[in-house]
Copies of this chain bind each other. A is one copy, B any other.
């Protein structure tokens, strides 16, 4: 995973050139290159390789997924949203560049993400590239990330009155949707047939939900230093979380069950080729930040 992150970071570095007006490209680069774990790009590359594609075919989409993830963090951190001062151990984008530049940096990253897939993808049938644009678009808009953030905002402070269904909706849309788009896009770019896409979609839904359950657990058990963002924030804001609803122990069990479900989707494939997706599932279960 570390080798992959180095490759992905190099590609991301090239994706946003420093040109006039510099401040906006600096703000985009500040958040994009802040050293995230690159889970979404790694999933995209791994899924592409699993079905017989190459890293090169999937790399532009891998970058675009990280741009989208970054834009969602920049906008979520804004004063009118979650009002967060730290992210990945650094001051948030609006803290450094001001609110108006942070909003625009998010807009520019979102726009670039789609342009980048269409402009930079090589060696893939154009019809498949369009499919990827649709898949990614669904994961972001009012059926994806944005829908999750809206329901999250509207549920805040509601505490125990928010049920497990709403919590699951938030997680599915805020986190799982983009992880799913990462896996499914990689598969489409690598030439997957419909059966592969279905199976990998199931894999991605399980790891997506597990990812957020683990996030909720870490918010309670990890320190601010480990997380690189304010810890205990969910608790402080009486936000609905898995531990709040079903307890810490049961939350851990749920995460384990989801990871096992995900891995069961990979049994039919070549072990070598499936190894990265196995490793990513394990990583999501055991990560410390």
The residue in A23, A28, A133, A146 that gathers the most chain B C-beta atoms within 10 A of its C-beta is: A146
What is the CA–CA distance of A47 and B13 in the complex, to the nearest angstrom? 37
What is the CA–CA distance of A136 and B129 in the complex, to the nearest angstrom? 16
What is the CA–CA distance of A115 and B181 in the complex, to the nearest angstrom? 13
Given A81-B100, A142-B24, A142-B28, are A137 and B115 also a contact pair (CB < 8 Å)?
Answer: yes
The residue in A100, A111, A117 that gathers the most chain B C-beta atoms within 10 A of its C-beta is: A111
What is the CA–CA distance of A68 and B71 in the complex, to the nearest angstrom? 17
Q: How many copies of the chain does the oligomer comprise? A: 2
Chain A interface, DSSP helix/strand/loop, else mixed? helix
What is the CA–CA distance of A74 and B103 in the complex, to the nearest angstrom? 12
A118 at the interface (CB under 8 A from B): yes
What is the CA–CA distance of A158 and B46 in the complex, to the nearest angstrom? 51
Are A104 and B140 in contact (CB-based, < 8 A)? no
In the complex, which residues of chain B have a beta carbon less than 8 angstroms from the beta carbon of A7? none
A147 at the interface (CB under 8 A from B): yes
CB distance from A32 to the nearest CB of B (A): 12
What is the CA–CA distance of A78 and B24 in the complex, to the nearest angstrom? 18
Stretch at the interface among A149-157, A222-230, A231-239, A264-272: A149-157
Complex: chain B residue closest to A148, CB-CB: B21
- A interface bracket (residues with beta carbon within 8 Å of B): 35 or more
What is the CA–CA distance of A101 and B25 in the complex, to the nearest angstrom? 25
A127 at the interface (CB under 8 A from B): yes
The residue in A16, A100, A140, A147 that gathers the most chain B C-beta atoms within 10 A of its C-beta is: A100
In the complex, which residues of chain B have a beta carbon less than 8 angstroms from the beta carbon of A141? 107-108, 111-112, 115
Complex: chain B residue closest to A137, CB-CB: B115
A80 at the interface (CB under 8 A from B): yes
Complex: chain B residue closest to A20, CB-CB: B147
CB under 8 Å from chain B, chain A span 127-183:
127, 129-131, 133-134, 136-138, 140-144, 146-147, 149-151, 153-154
Are B108 and A142 in contact (CB-based, < 8 A)? yes
A103 contact from B81, B137, B151, Cβ within 8 A: B81
CB distance from A112 to the nearest CB of B (A): 5
List 14 A-B pairs, Cβ < 8 Å: A24-B142, A28-B142, A78-B103, A80-B99, A104-B149, A104-B150, A107-B146, A108-B141, A111-B114, A111-B140, A111-B146, A114-B137, A117-B133, A133-B133
In the complex, besides A21-B147, A119-B137, 16 extra interface pairs with C-beta distance below 8 angstroms are A16-B142, A19-B143, A21-B150, A21-B154, A80-B98, A80-B103, A101-B150, A104-B146, A107-B110, A107-B141, A107-B146, A111-B146, A112-B141, A115-B134, A115-B138, A126-B126
